[in-house]
């Protein structure tokens, strides 16, 4: 196998064995602490444009199956592992992780001290990196790609069911969100990220879900006015990026974390009950706490135990709520699946709320 390198903009160089294709790739280098779920992580559209460093030493040991992809293709720029399993064993396996990388034209690096990379990211914050066969090519060009346009659906998709009609606005939605809504008996219509208020009104939804997605939420600033109007007209649930967009649309602010939250064991505390839930997370931006405290229309509903960042908000009068974590985690902790049930309850309560206005 071919020798390869991970170059960081900090000047650090890591040598390893190249995986997938031999084309050079550049992206923000992030780390994920999950012990399982590498297929779901690699196929999560929120990682678009990023190089994922897997903290868990062994990746690929149960292969890749057909059921657990979170999107139809991979949008990552690469992966970095301590070890890769080239002969996995699992009864559902269809191909190896390396096969998946090759099929999607994505490269990676293995045989690397991933612990050292994580220490560097934790020290310096988010860094750009490059997977390459040429260790002397240390230039890093600015990446201005609008990834949401790449990962969002290009057409409206409809899924029949007997329950309330939910419009899922797709900013890079994981398939697990769709499955969770269908499991709650919702009729679901998935629409592109730039669907207008008028177009959504024509669909006559009972509720709205704003999905997860990649990058800085301010990249969607031109859509905030419509998002505010949509949330004021329909019961709404925001997840991850959708949570940040709701906050921004209603006058809040967002900031970038030094190295993000990415993993399956992030503890969050519910303010109302004091209960702590273990959650799956994948984000680099958070809602600014002061901007919500100073907002007379919203409560903070969840805090992160580790760094006290805002993990959830709820409108004081309208059925609008959002969470920074992923209640649909797959695989991952199922502690917060009840959030979808609360959303369905909000839809029914919202019918009364809006009717009274």
Q: Could you give the residue numbers annotated as active site?
A: 240, 326, 328
265 assigned to a ligand binding site: no
- The answer to whether 263 is annotated as binding is no
21 annotated to a ligand binding site = no
Q: Residue 91, SS3?
A: coil
Please state, in angstroms and as integers, the Cα–Cα distance from residue 22 to each residue in 30, 134, 156, 280, following that order. 21, 11, 36, 32
16 annotated to a ligand binding site: no
In whole angstroms, how far apart are CA 144 and each of 29, 141, 219?
16, 9, 10
Residue 245: name the closest of 338, 172, 162 by CA: 172
281 within 8 A of 244, measured Cβ to Cβ: no
Q: Is 11 annotated as a binding residue?
A: no
Specify the DSSP element, H or E, that contains 236.
Answer: strand 236-239
Residues 131, 107: Cα–Cα separation, whole Å:
8
Whether residue 61 is annotated as binding a ligand: the answer is: no
Report the residue count for the chain: 357
Dihedral of the CA atoms 18, 103, 71, 157 (nearest 10)?
160
Was 19 annotated as part of a binding site?
Answer: no
213 is in an annotated binding site: yes
Residue ranges at the known binding site: 46, 213, 215, 241, 244, 282, 284-285
Annotated binding-site members for L-glutamine: 46, 213, 215, 241, 244, 282, 284-285
């Amino acid at each position: 196998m071919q020798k390869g390198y991970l170059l960081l903009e900090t000047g650090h160089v890591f040598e390893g064995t190249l995986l997938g294709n031999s084309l050079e790739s550049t992206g923000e280098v992030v780390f994920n602490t999950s012990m399982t779920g590498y297929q779901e992580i690699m196929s999560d559209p929120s990682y678009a444009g990023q190089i994922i460093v897997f903290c868990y030493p062994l990746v690929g040991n149960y292969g890749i199956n057909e059921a657990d992809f979170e999107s139809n293709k991979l949008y990552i720029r690469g992966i970095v592992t301590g070890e890769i399993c080239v002969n996995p064993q699992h009864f559902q396996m269809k191909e190896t992780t390396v096969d998946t990388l090759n099929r999607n034209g994505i490269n990676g690096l293995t045989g690397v001290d991933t612990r050292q990379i994580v220490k560097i990211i934790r020290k310096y914050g988010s860094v750009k990196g490059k997977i390459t066969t040429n260790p002397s090519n240390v230039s890093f060009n600015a990446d201005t790609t609008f990834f949401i346009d790449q990962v969002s659906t290009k057409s409206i998709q409809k899924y029949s069911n007997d329950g309330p009609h939910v419009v899922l606005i797709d900013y890079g939605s994981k398939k697990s969100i769709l499955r969770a809504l269908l499991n709650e008996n919702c009729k679901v219509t998935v629409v592109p990220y730039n669907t207008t208020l008028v177009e959504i009104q024509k669909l006559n939804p009972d509720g709205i879900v704003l999905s997860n997605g990649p990058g800085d939420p301010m990249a969607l600033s031109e859509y905030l006015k419509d998002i505010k109007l949509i949330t004021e007209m329909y019961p709404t649930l925001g997840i991850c990026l959708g949570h940040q967009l709701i906050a921004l649309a209603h006058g809040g602010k967002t900031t970038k974390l030094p190295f993000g939250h990415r993993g399956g064991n992030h503890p969050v505390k519910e303010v109302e009950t004091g209960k702590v839930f273990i959650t799956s997370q994948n984000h680099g931006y958070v809602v600014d706490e002061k901007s919500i405290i100073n907002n007379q229309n919203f409560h903070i509903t969840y805090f992160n135990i580790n760094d006290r960042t805002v993990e959830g908000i709820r409108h004081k009068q309208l059925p609008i709520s959002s969470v920074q974590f992923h209640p649909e985690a797959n695989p991952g902790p199922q502690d917060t699946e009840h959030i979808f049930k609360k959303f369905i309850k909000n839809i029914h309560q919202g019918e009364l709320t809006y009717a009274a206005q």
